[in-house]
Chain A
Amino acid sequence: AQRVTQPEKLLSVFKGAPVELKCNYSYSGSPELFWYVQYSRQRLQLLLRHISRESIKGFTADLNKGETSFHLKKPFAQEEDSAMYYCALSGGSGGSNYKLTFGKGTLLTVNP
C-alpha cells in the first residue's frame, strides 16, 4: 500500500533561516511526488512536482529513491511562506495514477 509520511505537524523558523519540510513515502512502483501548499483562507494548490525538477518561490525538492524521501527545502524562509504544506504521491494499481495520496501536512510558520 502507498503511504506518505510527514513527521512534523508544526515547524517554526525565523525569517531568513533555512527551512526543510520532511516527506517520506512508501510505494512499490515508480512514484510521482508532489508538494501542495495551502495558504491561509486559500485553496490547495500545486507547488511543485519532482518530474519537473523546477524551483518555485525558491523551494526545491529532490526525490531520493534510496531513502524514499522527497523533502522540501528553501534556503531563506520568508514570512509569506507561512502555510500548510502537503506532500503527495501519485500512483495506484492498474494505472490509476490519478489517485493522489497525501501526507497529514506540516504547518510552517515563519516568524519575523
Chain B
Amino acid sequence: NAGVMQNPRHLVRRRGQEARLRCSPMKGHSHVYWYRQLPEEGLKFMVYLQKENIIDESGMPKERFSAEFPKEGPSILRIQQVVRGDSAAYFCASSPSIVTYEQYFGPGTRLTVT
C-alpha cells in the first residue's frame, strides 16, 4: 500500500490564479480530511469528506475554497483566485473509518503564491 498520495508536492501560483490540490487516499479508505498549515502554525482542520459527500466543512474559508471527493478519482481541494495568505502546506489524511487515531497523512502540498 503506497500510502496517501498528494500531488503536486510543490505548487507555485500567481495571485488571482486557481490552485488544485489532489489527494489519493490509501486503498480501502473512504474518509478524507484536509488540513492547512500556515507558516509557524500547527495543522488546522479544513474539511472532512466521504465519497461524493462533504460531511464537515466548518474549517474551510467561506469564499474561494471548495473540496470534493468524487465517486472515482482523487479528492480535490480547489482554491480560486489565490492570494498571498493562501501560501501554506496543505495536508490530506485518510482513514478507513471515523476513528480518529486511524488518520494517515500524506506528504503535503506546499503552495506558494507569488
* Residue ranges of A at the interface with B (Cβ–Cβ < 8 Å): 4, 6, 32, 34, 43-46, 49, 51, 86, 88, 90, 96-105
Contacts and interface: CB of A to CB of B under 8 A. Distances in A.
A1 B3 CA distance: 32
Interface stretch (B12-20, B42-50, B62-70, B71-79): B42-50
Interface of B: 3-4, 31, 33, 35, 40-45, 48, 56, 58-59, 91, 95, 98, 100-101, 103, 105-108
B91 A44 contact: yes
A34 B101 contact: yes
B75 to A, nearest CB: 15
A7 B54 CA distance: 34
B45 A99 contact: yes
Contact of B3 (A6, A32, A43, A105): A43
A22 to B, nearest CB: 14
A46 B101 contact: yes
Contacts of B106: 43
B100 A90 contact: yes
A45 B4 CA distance: 12
10 contacts: A4-B42, A34-B100, A86-B42, A90-B100, A96-B56, A98-B98, A98-B103, A99-B59, A101-B42, A104-B41
